[in-house]
Amino acid sequence: MSGSFSNFATKYSGRLAGFLSGWNYWFNYVLVSMAELTAVGIYMNFWFPDLPQWISSLVCLVAITALNLVNVKAYGEAEFWMALIKIAAIVSMILLGLGLIFTNGQPFPDNFSNIWENGGFLPNGLWGLALSIAVVMFSFGGIELIGITAGEAEDPDRTIPRAINQVIWRILIFYVGTMIVLMALWPWNKVGMEASPFVQIFNNVGIPAAAHILNFVVLTAAISVYNSAIYSNSRMLYGLAGTGEAPSFFRKLSPRGVPVRGILVSSGITLIVVALNYFLQGHVFMYLMMIATCAAVISWVVICVTHLKFRAYCKRHKKETKFHAIFYPWANYLALIFLAGVIFFMAQIPDMQLAVLFLPIWLLVLWIGYCQYKRHRI
């Protein structure tokens, strides 16, 4: 069903968990939408340095919102082609990077020496590695979208487990593989924040054409994330409305089966980023990313706890699960410890402490909202 893990949280962990996870997830992806629209503005500035970021953000918001209003097939088709562009470009970039590494005249392993030189393999020590987890957490957000799409997937018993199993291999190839190649090509401490690292590195090694192509690719990636955010947010509002946890206003579908009202409200609130980019250009992305990371931590805590309760329910009723999670239940406990660690490490970084302070305030807002919902429900 749409808004699936929020519904499962309600079923196995209670209404508070369902209400909290649903609205928190919606809020999280509003923030992610804002962050990705900000990234769109940054990437467009590579080609048009004088173009205000807010204009790029606004054009992207209007175009992708209009696309999602058509039907779910339009979203799926757009996502398919954007994913194809990303995969083809990243694989090509890895192959091109390896070609440059092995033809630079240095023998192996000296041609990979940028990885362990410039301060060593861990230039800032294990503590620096631990602190980086807070930023990495934002990058890995979104894999839970697999569950959101289950309600509209064809043959979910087959396609959902296959998608889950493929995640680890995609991470190894597209995240870890890419980082190894990039860091081998160019010293990590010479990469700035004025553009995508992909673009900067290929520009610096003397392949400006590759830099332009990769800028197009990272732009496509940012648009793709926003496309997915609009899709998931509208379905989450629809799912919350179905359980009475959001106004019935969001339960209405268009003749094509699209939750139009959820799309328009989510996009309308995301418009705030246009104003933020107008008044706070250059600072918006980091603030949004950190607050979104805190919201993602809440979502994953609920997912982990709900999964534990779901498995306990299955055990009590002697039901077999169709998808067997490895290392259950220890993987759940380790994940919860990791999530607590993310918040702890964020609290150690001055630029991220504001987001950590925001976390209890946001939980209080959700609690007040739940109390109001429960009172009106009674």
| Residue range 211-239: mean pLDDT, rounded | 83
Lookup: tokens for 213: 């192509």
pLDDT, average across residues 188-215: 69
Q: Is 25 helix (H, G, I), strand (E, B) or coil?
A: helix
DSSP class of residue 252 equals: -
CA 61, CA 37: separation in Å to the nearest integer?
A: 7
pLDDT at 334: 93
Residue 14's φ and ψ, nearest 5 degrees, are 105, 165
Amino acid 256: pLDDT: 79
CB 223 within 8 A of CB 82: yes
Question: Is residue 370 predicted with pLDDT exceeding 80?
Answer: yes
Residue 229 neighbours by CB under 8 Å, 6+ apart: 29, 30, 32, 33, 36
- Per CATH, the number for 4-377 is 1.20.1740.10
Better-scored residue on pLDDT, 161 or 355:
355
- Round the average pLDDT of the chain to a whole number and report it: 79
105: left (phi over 0), alpha (psi -120 to 50) or beta: left
CA distances from 286 to 35, 37, 70, 78, 363 (A): 8, 13, 32, 27, 21
Res. 305: pLDDT tops 70: yes
Distance between CA atoms of residues 313 and 46, nearest Å: 53
Please give the model's pTM, rounded to 2 decimal places.
0.78
Q: What is the pLDDT of residue 151?
A: 59
Task: Check residue 1 and give its pLDDT.
Answer: 47
- Does the pLDDT at position 3 exceed 70? no
- Tell me the CA distances in angstroms from 42 to 35, 50, 190, one per residue in order: 11, 11, 19
Please tell me which residue, 15 or 201, carries the higher pLDDT value.
15
The encoded tokens of residue 135 equal 């930023």
For 25-39, write each residue's pLDDT tens digit.
Answer: 888 888 888 888 888
In the chain, domain spans: 4-377
Taking CA 84 as the corner, what is the angle to CA 80 and CA 85, rounded to the nearest 5 degrees?
120
